[in-house]
A and B are shown apart, each in its own frame.
Chain A
């Protein structure tokens, strides 16, 4: 029944890669199935550079980049984009400022021009800064009312105590109130530059043409004073389980996050941990956690586990939303599942199921230009090699039960967890 289709996997032959003389790496792959193009990437201007009294500064800067440049106002920038149905946006994390956009391919030059201007010549107008500040403060007021956001915040605060990963990227009310225009300008001047920047383009354009288009607008960018990112400080391991509750009165549901540290993305433990996590709280209807908390006990609409693996120490966590009176019961069920997972690992059948899922779902995750941009950026960021997806199936298949139980025991100690809850 299946007819011939071209390979949807990126590979060293069809992903064009080059580095400009100013240090910008460009990755490009064509896809002529739709007349559109996606752009994504990052540069190493992250919250690592923030001081505690200015938490949220990177986020503030990235949200200001499109609010006025030397040649265009906020309204003019968005008018150009929206008029042609294109989009562009920036956000930030601990390590990087990220960007992403899409357009019909005829409008790629416009998209890249606006990307370049926003990165190189933002002017941080006072009126726009104050408007954004009000929006950010409203966002923080809403966050304070969101049981899921507050449980996450509390979890990270205690899992990553005295570490940049434990600090909220959107800051606190006091820190956002204290950020000045000078802070924004200084941050941009010192940390934004081409060195370490990566741009990926996927869509209806020949890769070399895409590279030329990027080079035209970003090839001359030079920031000799661009600062190197500081190294991540060491992390203090948990000595015992920490249980914290954040009170939000008047809510009908509480959220919980239970977890511990996980491997980083480059760790040899990653694949076994990822497959183990799939069995624990992803596969089918949210894995074993979903089966116990939702299907068998009817306690929650969502209950799952997730593994967050990036540049630094990752996290391995279980999350659920439950009626406040069922909080204790749900935590008990999750505790028992974690103990079982660490004691017995996964069955042969469970592992085979998740392995099959990982291999089978690949075409789906790569079908859109946006999915492909994420995939090739990840390959680059974590040095996976452009032949990663050619090796992918064997990487998955070679994980065995012993590997999974070993990483489970290495990372998850049921007596040393962070248990964060938020609600009434």
Chain B
């Protein structure tokens, strides 16, 4: 992993990060805006994601439809996604063609059209996207658990938004959202690949520096108060399989407890990006016949989010039985120190996952920008070192602090029986 990157702030406040990699004739360019579902108020949920969709509908210079073709014609790959904390757009192109992507992003930062007719047809596309998700029991359960976990903080709603808002958000709502948040001083550009930093930076200045900055929108900050007492909920729906999702509070990505919790996660649920058949919960629940599967994951967020554990239940075992086994395993983490060797294991696992990721230039540009949304690139570059410094005592302490039954939400999906 090369750690040397060039970081520059343009005169208009836009952050630029560049990393030269000459292993393949490819460049990946990502532009990030600090706006996501956590910036949405009631009545406007889903607006960040919908805005992201509208960004593909074109500008005067790059009319909709032509955009896709222009990128695809060059053999490029492009897409976008909206998260809780950010909205990002990327193009990965043959190196000689990257200028197209840069021109496109500079243009659509301010000149997307948001035609009313296209807003209307995209409304039904997004409703269809949500309906596809609603087909999945895990989406329905996950949405209910997330909502119950956040009464105050705007992390409470799904990124796609609530159906009521998807039906009522207007063209002007979308356009105002776009103009408000899509300003250079609220954006970061991350590029990795086969370029020369000096000439690339010159080109980026030419294209992006003339864009006037705007007032940086304040983020919606409504800290979630500590939960006092476990909350249980159920979701009913079609199918024959029951699921349980348990959500514990989890700190933001720059919190000192974040790294001990990564080690804890690797022990409890397996390391991110690898199989997890020897983690404690798999051994305790699946190997012993209490559940069909169990998985868990955290997210790297700006504000504290949640750590979720999901169990897929066996037809011959009750969800409560599996939950009791889960509780016993968590208590073990709280009562006993983990062996030191487990920390070395977690570090080695992370080292391997980093090596796999380094084969992919898109992935490398992603990490630069992604970390800039909640910290900076040093967060990524020092990740393995921070993991190696974690002690068994740290892990025990965070297990006690975060994994308390009285601070969690437990959701159960209750299937309504056989289909016709």
A residues with a Cβ closer than 8 A to B are: 1-5, 8, 31, 33-36, 74-75, 78-79, 81-87, 89, 102-104, 131, 134-135, 137-138, 141-142, 144-147, 247-253, 283-285, 291, 294-302, 321-323, 353, 356-364, 366-370
Contacts and interface: CB of A to CB of B under 8 A. Distances in A.
A135 B122 CA distance: 39
Contacts of B232: none
Interface string B291-334: 01100000000000000000010110000000000000000000
B238 A251 contact: yes
Contacts of A144: 240, 419
Contacts of B124: 298-299
Contacts of A294: 125
A75 B22 CA distance: 41
A295 B53 CA distance: 11
Given A1-B199, A2-B25, A131-B289, A104 B74 contact: no
B254 interface: no
B419 A104 contact: no
A378 B67 CA distance: 32
Contacts of B128: 253, 298-301, 321-323
Contacts of B116: none
B361 A367 contact: yes
Nearest to B352: A85
Contact of A249 (B94, B96, B194, B238): B238
Nearest to B286: A131
Contacts of B121: 295-298
Given A1-B200, A87-B274, A145 B238 contact: yes
B162 to A, nearest CB: 14
Sorting the interface of chain B by its residue count into under 10, 10 to 19, 20 to 34 or 35 or more gives 35 or more
Contacts of A145: 137, 238-241, 419
A364 B134 CA distance: 33
A104 B352 contact: yes
Q: Tell me whether chain A's interface is mostly helix, strand or loop, or mixed.
A: mixed
Contact of A82 (B77, B275, B355): B275
Contacts of A31: 359
A353 B73 CA distance: 5
Contacts of A360: 73-76, 94, 97
B72 interface: yes
Contacts of B120: 298
A141 B237 contact: no
Contact of B241 (A89, A142, A295): A142
Contacts of B96: 1-2
B25 A368 contact: no
A85 B241 contact: no
B103 interface: no
A197 to B, nearest CB: 23
Interface of B: 22-26, 56, 64-65, 68-69, 71-77, 92, 94-98, 120-129, 131-132, 134-135, 137, 194-196, 199-200, 203, 237-241, 270-271, 274-279, 283, 286-287, 289, 292-293, 312, 314-315, 345, 348-353, 355-356, 358-361, 416, 419-420
Contacts of B73: 353, 356-357, 360
A103 B350 CA distance: 12
Given A81-B275, A85-B348, A285-B68, A75 B132 contact: no
Given A74-B277, A360-B74, A301 B68 contact: no
Given A83-B349, A356-B74, 4 more contacts: A34-B359, A251-B135, A298-B124, A361-B75
23 contacts: A1-B203, A2-B95, A3-B22, A3-B194, A5-B95, A5-B194, A74-B277, A82-B271, A85-B274, A87-B274, A131-B286, A147-B135, A253-B131, A284-B72, A285-B65, A298-B121, A298-B122, A298-B124, A321-B132, A361-B77, A364-B92, A367-B361, A368-B359
B62 to A, nearest CB: 13
A356 B24 contact: no
A300 B390 CA distance: 47
Contacts of B25: 2, 5, 8, 363
Contacts of A322: 128
Given A85-B349, A252-B131, A298 B359 contact: no
B132 A134 contact: no
Nearest to A284: B68
Contacts of A357: 72-75
Contacts of B315: 134, 137-138, 141
A100 to B, nearest CB: 12
A138 B292 contact: yes
A356 B75 contact: yes
B195 A2 contact: yes
Contacts of B292: 134-135, 138
Given A131-B286, A247-B420, A82 B270 contact: yes
Nearest to A139: B292
A82 B277 CA distance: 8
A253 B124 CA distance: 13
